């Protein structure tokens, strides 16, 4: 369960941004702000915010799935490969020894 504090800041920022945009639109609606600019901002702002939140969540939850980063997993794989190579070398030397008999 997520803490209330972890969601408070993004929600507060979102409310502030929407309020600032509404205020800007209300004050500049009669001043000659180009309609195409307002239309562009209104149509692309939700998409940009959605993609930003998606990237932020994916980067935040990268370690949550397995508990380790990709570098840690790579280091574990290298260690296991070295251990396997050492065991295979021991087997190879044991097979090369002439049998007593």
* DSSP labels, 29-72: TTTT--HHHHHHHHHHHHHHHHHHHHHHHHHHTTTTTTSS-HHH
For residue 6, the model assigns a pLDDT of 67
Is a pLDDT exceeding 60 seen at residue 2?
Answer: no
Is a pLDDT exceeding 80 seen at residue 32?
Answer: no
What pTM was estimated for this model as a whole? 0.38
């Amino acid at each position: 369960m997520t803490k209330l504090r972890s969601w408070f800041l993004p929600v507060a920022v979102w409310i502030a941004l929407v309020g600032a945009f509404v205020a800007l639109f209300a004050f500049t609606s009669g001043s000659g702000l180009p309609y195409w600019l307002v239309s562009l901002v209104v149509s692309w702002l939700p998409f940009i915010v959605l993609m930003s939140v998606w990237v932020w969540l994916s980067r935040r939850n990268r370690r949550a799935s397995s508990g380790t980063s990709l570098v840690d997993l790579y280091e574990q794989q290298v260690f296991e490969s070295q251990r396997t190579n050492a065991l295979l070398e021991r087997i190879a030397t044991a097979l090369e020894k002439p049998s007593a008999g």
